[in-house]
Structure 1
Amino acid sequence: MAFKTELTSSDLSEIRQSALGAADPLGIAADLADAAEAGRLADKDDAGYALALAAEIAESRAKLDAALRYVERAVEAYGERDDSQAGAARALHARILFRLGRSDEALARLEPLRPLLTRYPDAAAFVTAALGAGQEHRLAEKWLTEAVQEGLGASGSTTEPSSAEDAGVLFFLLQQRHRLRHALGLQHDTHDNLAERLETRLANAGATAGPAVDLLFFRQAEFGKLLEQFPALSSVFGADWDEHRAILERELVRLTGTGRTGLTVLPGTVVGLTGFAGADGDVADARVRSGYAQQLAGREGQITWPPERNGACWCGSGTKYKKCCLPRSR
């Protein structure tokens, strides 16, 4: 695959969606690393993102030595940044170290990421995934428990959140912890009960407002892989790509009618969804899909909606919006 002279943030996000299904993903990983080091990125701050993506591709092909080289350069490129994206790269570094049998180094890399658990919705997922690679499930449960306790005590009140929206990042911590404890076969405690109450309130709120659709979008090739691997998801995402796009377009129009603005579509991948669910998760669980959508919402690569009528359609078909997905809402 030959890249153009300069890669934008959108280009990198598109590569993320398609690289794992490409004929030569390792070649793409090498090209990404070269683009980052040769200054062929439109935004130099994307260097860490490009290198971390290269590391993920190499890791997916079990080329762990190459993955480690790429991710070490990614972490170096992020420097002192302590946002979610930089944290995800550092967690990836730890995950690869675990897979290489270097557990002590991996844990040393993960420990400084613990404050991110109470700051970013996706931190619980990437920290837990890294610990899972090292079979440190009990430690993951301990860290999540301590983060939940910190989150509950942050307001200085013993009153629990009354809704998932009020809970904020704490909601995702509770979800991740609840799923992990279920996988470990642990008995419910007060935090598990709170997680279930918040999830129930969220589901009831959604039922009152009408059927909600997470704005997860799978490009055509990725959608085919999704239904091939999980046929039952056709009832959620549509029986074919046309129906998938129609479901999203109708939901976007509905949300606009409620006064929502600044809407974006969230391009997902089968690898990303299954990775978020984890070995013991179930992609058929609406809570898993919602959590994955929230993770994507905190990252780059979202597709702004709506496009101009005469502009390229948001689905990536190459056709004008007015002739592609705009009519699907009717």
Structure 2
Amino acid sequence: MPTTNVLSSADLTELRQSALGAANPLGVAAELADAADQGRLADPTDTGYALTLAAEIAESRSKLDAALRYADRAVEAYRTRDDNRAAFSRALHARILFRVGRADEAVEELTALRPLLTEQADAPAYISAALDAGGRTSLAEQWLTAAVETVMADRAASAEQPTEPRDRESAGILFFLLQQRHRVRRDLALSHDQNDNLADRLESGLTGTAGRAGTEPTANDLLFWPKDDFERLRSDWPALAETYGRDWDEHRAGLERELVRLAGGGRTGLTVLKGSTGGLAGFAPQRGGDPTDPKIRAAYAQELSSGTSQIPWPPERNDACWCGSGTKYKKCCLPRSRG
């Protein structure tokens, strides 16, 4: 990235989607910080955004001293703002503080952000991710449970909506709380409760829109079908085209966009779950169901997540793409996240 470039807000958003796959991500981080220092941001209010992105990149490469410097500056740049970007920046700062051994400061920062759990849709993801990084997964579960109870109580007090939502759209922020709480409880190996069951129902596509163009995939849509398996999947179970895409390009694009979204919400250690039609066909009868049943596919994905069928994401920009096409990531699925 030439040092004479003026970076627009759109440039920064594109960099956030592609920087982890760049040939020299740490160079990108340094350039972002230089752009902030040298007044090369088209919108000066993007200073915090640029520095937050620099901190994310440095943290992803375990350059924690640099990551903390960038994060300190990002938090200061956002000092007078209280929007979602500012809050994410503070959660990232806390995550890095955990990783450099300053746990008390990290917990203090996250405690100040805790009220956002019931106010901002992205907050459950980035707050729980920060607590996970500090080995405070049990605390994340406690906070998320309390937030779910608060939202459910508010719904019960409202005559305009049922206590238990029937689909993702009517759930609103409750969906994101339930989703993250469900993930955290799985990590802690806690037994299902009624709110986990509700999370399963919402994630299993009661909306009838999972996988359609313009919608975000649900959790079990992180299943990846290699090209031959994808064709067999659509041939054997045509109804699944609604969930996994009309063709292999659409399938890969949906996964790439979802992975970028999860990474932007603070999730780390992301992997793609490589499925097979034979595996799914054999798994479904064992669970007394059919491959077209979202609950069966979710259970299949859960089984894959504990095995060796996981593909780390993202690859380096010049490495082979995660989809197995044989093409470099930068020329294959990386650009699909921008579609």
TM-score range, shorter chain: 0.5 to 0.7
Distance 1:272 1:280 in 2: 8
Cα distance, 1:194 vs structure 2? 2.3
TM-score (norm 2): 0.66
Is the contact between residue 16 and residue 53 of structure 1 (CA under 8 Å) also seen in structure 2? yes
Q: Deviations over 1:242-290 (max 9, x none)?
A: x339987xxxxxxxxxxxxxxxxx95656955986655987578899xx
Cα distance, 1:112 vs structure 2? 0.8
2:250 aligned residue: 244
What is the root-mean-square deviation of aligned Cα atoms in Å? Answer: 3.6
1:232 equivalent to 2:206? Answer: no
Distance 2:211 2:17 in 1: 27
Superposition map of 1:309-328 within 5 A? none
2:175 aligned residue: 171
2:193 to 189, 192, 195: 189
TM-score (norm 1): 0.67
Decide whether aligned partners of structure 1 residues 186 and 281 sit closer, same or farther in structure 2, where only a CA change above 3 A counts: farther
Q: Deviations over 1:5-51 (max 9, x none)?
A: 31101111122222222222212111101111222111111111100
Q: Return 5+ residue gaps in structure 1 as ranges.
A: 218-229, 249-265, 289-314, 318-324, 326-330
Distance 1:6 1:125 in 2: 31
Supply the AA of the counterpart residue of 1:64.
L
Cα distance, 1:83 vs structure 2? 1.6
Supply the AA of the counterpart residue of 2:199.
A
Cα distance, 1:198 vs structure 2? 3.0
SS of residue matched to 1:154: helix
Q: Deviations over 1:95-130 (max 9, x none)?
A: 001111111111011101111111122111110110
Distance 2:169 2:73 in 1: 37
Higher RCO by CA contacts (8 Å cutoff, separation 6 or greater): 2
Q: Kindly tell me the number of residue pairs found equivalent between the two proteins.
A: 258
Is the contact between residue 168 and residue 175 of structure 2 (CA under 8 Å) also seen in structure 1? yes
Identical columns (%) = 52
Supply the AA of the counterpart residue of 2:104.
D
1:103 equivalent to 2:103? Answer: yes
Decide whether aligned partners of structure 1 residues 247 and 199 sit closer, same or farther in structure 2, where only a CA change above 3 A counts: closer
Cα distance, 1:199 vs structure 2? 3.2
SS of residue matched to 1:121: coil
Distance 1:198 1:283 in 2: 20
Decide whether aligned partners of structure 1 residues 75 and 233 sit closer, same or farther in structure 2, where only a CA change above 3 A counts: farther
2:319 aligned residue: none
1:116 aligned residue: 116
1:145 equivalent to 2:145? Answer: yes
Is the contact between residue 92 and residue 266 of structure 2 (CA under 8 Å) also seen in structure 1? no
Superposition map of 1:124-163 within 5 A? 124-155=124-155, 156-157=157-158, 159-163=163-167
Q: Return 5+ residue gaps in structure 2 as ranges.
A: 218-222, 231-243, 275-296, 302-332
Any runs of at least 4 consecutive aligned residues in structure 1 with deviations exceeding 6 A, and if so which?
Answer: 237-240, 245-248, 284-288
